[in-house]
Structure 1
Amino acid sequence: MHIAILDDEPAVLAQVSQALTGPWGRHKITLKISTFSSCKELIQATKRHTFDLAILDWELPDGSGLEVLTWFTSYLESPPPVIMLTVRNSEQDVVEALTGGAEDFINKPFRARELKARAIAVLRRRNGPLSVEKGREEDPSHGNIVFDVNRQTLHRDGQPIKLTHQEYRLAFLLFSNLGRPLARAYLYEYVWGKDEQFSSRTLDVHIYRVRRKLGLTPEHGWQLNAVYGYGYRLQEADPSAA
């Protein structure tokens, strides 16, 4: 889970990071937090990284969180859900943020446990129940592909497919984000862990193996493509058009 926090006050960035860090109750989630002090920094980062949630201040030295929200919805194929965290509290501000696409609106000063609870609620609304594998608590099925989350195994057309641990995690993440472009670094960190040195070649080889083993081609109803300069995206395809 990768969360972006935008605020020009270092103390607030530290407080929000601390509020979100640590166990999320029963949700066993590996959390990565990136902090930004300007709109430009965050916008540039979204061109290279995938964020699952963005928490935005309203007033920044080089613009506003609302402008960043507008940029997300205008230029990103799958913008992250947004929580506005600001001292502004008029009804007009709340209406403007929510109609602009924000999922929630929280006033400063904030309560740490409430912020975490609202973040979980936003992610649940967007992605469904949270679990160890950033997916659904029941065994997910996608057409001819069925996952067994507890055993970390996968069946295709009713037959078990032999996958390595990394191949399984890569397949699970791709199917959990159907239609959503995922950055290379995001894929690599989820599959191998943030302590492993990033290798594009390693990721490309595993993408090839998962595509081949699972038949992720148009004739089987799937399309796994590279997104130029960014990463990969898995989406459904029409077999008749293959």
Structure 2
Amino acid sequence: MRIALIEPDLRHAEIVGRLLLAGGHACHHFAASAPFLAGAEHEFFDLLVTDAFCGDAAAEDVIARARKVLPGLPVVALMSAPRESELVAMLQAGADDCLSKPVRGPEMLARIEALMRRAGIRRPRNRAREMFGEYAFDVGRSSVSFRGQSITMTPKELQFALLLFTNMSRPVSRAHILETVWSRRRDVRSRTLDTHASRIRTKLELRPEFGYTLTPLYGYGYRLDRIPVENPDTTDKPPPAERIVETL
């Protein structure tokens, strides 16, 4: 996940950043709320982890401002020996969860994963084979089998496709795709991502007649949806003629 961290304490920020990296997340540290809010105008984040005091403002104020820029952004607040009343105030201000400082690695990662599940953001599991309906992903062979055929894909195409199928019917941001597929590289052009999406759509036949649509979301990313397929044997057929039985 792409996680923003607002933490004025640089030593604690380094600890949190290392723990998040060990958990497979990308951590982008901000020493105060102002640079984070400015960055959020142009970048997407899956989660905000913020100290109760952001260096230039209280977290209660920053949460509301952050969600004006990134609606629905999940937030975890870091608090030093908080009293019950402080916890209640932080949660009422919009925080989704609170953690005591200094953070404990396993607990923080487990709480983040739980929050991401509730928010509907998922990462592909680290398994050699995955099944999504009729699509069978073989990571070892970098291939996908479906409807009686097997298609070879590049490693990045396969990772990209797995991310989309794992988050079926959920918008996946470009930032999340770049973090997952291109390992946080900043030099990947937007056109490269779009080209990979087009290849995935073609290779895996993600078209309405086969029950899938891969939709680009302008300024955000992509969403893969499964849709019902009309039975051609039952469409546009006239109703059966009424039979009249004569009795003698």
Q: Please, what TM-score do these two structures have when normalized by structure 1?
A: 0.74
Distance 1:122-1:103 versus aligned 2 partners, 3 A rule: farther
Residue matched to 1:154: 144
Residue matched to 1:14: 14
- Could you tell me how far apart the structure 1 residues matched to 2:13 and 2:137 are? 38
SS in 2 for 1:60: coil
Contact in 1 for aligned 2:2/2:175 (Cα 8 Å): no
Listed one character per residue, the Cα deviations across residues 16-74 of structure 1 (whole Å, up to 9, x for unaligned) are: 224444x44xxxx3x42101133343344345444344211122355433344445667
Contact in 2 for aligned 1:4/1:51 (Cα 8 Å): yes
Residue matched to 2:171: 181
- Could you tell me how far apart the structure 2 residues matched to 1:144 and 1:99 are? 44
- Could you tell me how far apart the structure 2 residues matched to 1:72 and 1:217 are? 36
SS in 2 for 1:232: strand
Distance 1:77-1:176 versus aligned 2 partners, 3 A rule: farther
RMSD: 3.2
Residue 100 (structure 2) pairs with residue 107 (structure 1): yes
Contact in 2 for aligned 1:144/1:158 (Cα 8 Å): no
Contact in 1 for aligned 2:213/2:227 (Cα 8 Å): yes
Between Structure 1 and Structure 2, how many residues are aligned?
225
Query: Unaligned stretches of 5+ in structure 1?
Result: none
SS in 2 for 1:17: helix
- Could you tell me how far apart the structure 1 residues matched to 2:58 and 2:142 are? 43
**Amino acid paired to 2:54:** L
Listed one character per residue, the Cα deviations across residues 95-119 of structure 1 (whole Å, up to 9, x for unaligned) are: 34445654431223x14xx1x2123
Counterparts of 1:117-136 in structure 2, within 5 Å, are 117-126=106-115, 134-136=123-125
Question: Which one has a bigger Cα radius of gyration?
Answer: 2
SS in 1 for 2:123: coil
Contact in 2 for aligned 1:53/1:82 (Cα 8 Å): yes
The CA deviation at 1:212 is 1.3
- Could you tell me how far apart the structure 2 residues matched to 1:4 and 1:170 are? 22
- Could you tell me how far apart the structure 1 residues matched to 2:134 and 2:221 are? 25
SS in 2 for 1:226: strand
Contact in 2 for aligned 1:221/1:236 (Cα 8 Å): yes
- Could you tell me how far apart the structure 1 residues matched to 2:31 and 2:158 are? 36
Counterparts of 1:1-242 in structure 2, within 5 Å, are 1-21=1-21, 23-24=22-23, 29=24, 31-70=25-64, 76=70, 79=73, 81-87=74-80, 89-98=82-91, 102-108=95-101, 110-111=102-103, 114=104, 116-126=105-115, 134-136=123-125, 139-195=129-185, 197-239=187-229
SS in 2 for 1:59: coil
Decide which moves more: 64-73 or 83-92: 64-73
**Amino acid paired to 1:106:** L
The CA deviation at 1:168 is 0.5
Identity within the alignment, %: 31
Query: Unaligned stretches of 5+ in structure 2?
Result: 231-248
